[in-house]
Amino acid sequence: MKRPETSPLTPLTPAVLHILMALAEEDRHGYAIAQEIETATEGEVRMGPGTLYGTIQRMLGAGLIDESPKRPRPGEDERRRYYRMTPLGRRLLEAELARLARVMRVAQDKRILRGPGVA
């Protein structure tokens, strides 16, 4: 099987994975990213601002995301900056999700976990 070029960076830390998934749909500012993650995980993952921006800083450095030209809507806090996923980030997310899917398949094959449709 052809190994994706991004493999040295995987597996992703949960924080990076969640942020990439939150940015997959649209560009968001920090607080919106955290809210999206919280909603998506049904409140299981709550990221504090320090953790979030620490991770964002490293993702910016690795070229996984960059600053979006999108500006706050009128009436919103003007200090907000928006972030978007880079093509590299998207490839990495896809590679990671594919890897996770393989892991899930193995788990289901071994009947460790009952996947959807198996029950």
Partner 1 sequence: VTGRVQRIYRTALALLPRDFRERFGEEIATFADDRLLAARRDGALSYAVQAARLFADLALTIPREWLAGRADANDRPEDNMDILSQDLRFALRGLARRPAFTAVAAATIALGIGANTAIFSVVDAVLIRPLPYVQPDRLVLVWGTQGTQTNQGVVFADYLDWRKTNRTFADLGAFRGQSVNLTGGDTPDRLVGAFVDAGFLRAIGATLERGRLFSESETEVGTKAPVAIVSHEAWTTRFGSDPAMLGKPLTINGTTFTIVGITVPSMPVPLFAPTPDVMMPIGYYPNAHGLDRGTRGISVVGRLKPGVSVAAAHEDLEAIERQLAAAYPATNAGTSADVVALKEFGVAQTRPRLLLMLAAAFVVLLIACANVANLQLARGASRTREMSVRAALGAGRSRMARQLLTESVMLSLTGGVLGLAVAFGLTKVLVSLIGSQLPIDEHTIAVDARVVAFALGASFACGILFGVVPAWKASRTDLTGMLRSRIGAGLGHVSTRNALVVAQLALSLALLASAGLLTRSLMALQRVDPGFDASHLLTAQFRLPAGKYDSPDKIWTMFDRTVHELRSLPGVQSAALVRASPLSGNGESYPATIEGRTEVAASEAPQVQVNSVTTDYFRTMRIAVIAGRDVNETDRAGALPVTVVNKTFADRTWPGQSPIGRRVKFGDDDWRTVVGVVGDARHFRLDEAPLDQAYIPHAQRPQIFTSIVVRTAGDPHSSVASVRQALWRVDKDQPIWRLRSMDEDLDAVTTSPRVMMWLMGIFSLVAMLVAVVGIYGVLSYTMSQRTQEIGIRIALGADARRVRRMVVAEGARLVGVAVALGLVASLAATRLLRSQLFGVEPRDGVTFLVVTVVLASVAILACYVPARRASRVDPMEALRTD
Smaller CB separation from partner 1, 72 or 115: 72
Pair 60, 72: CB distance under 8 Å: no
SS3 48: coil
Query: Which CA distances in Å does 67 have to 52, 95, 98, 115?
Result: 15, 23, 26, 37
Smaller CB separation from partner 1, 13 or 107: 13
Q: By CB under 8 A, tell whether 11 contacts partner 1.
A: no
Closest approach of partner 1 to the CB of residue 57, in Å: 6
In the window 36-95, what residues touch partner 1 (CB under 8 A)?
Answer: 46, 48-54, 56-58, 61, 77, 79-81
Query: Which CA distances in Å does 60 have to 7, 95, 100?
Result: 18, 19, 24
Interacting residues toward partner 1 by CB under 8 A: 13, 29-31, 34, 46, 48-54, 56-58, 61, 77, 79-81
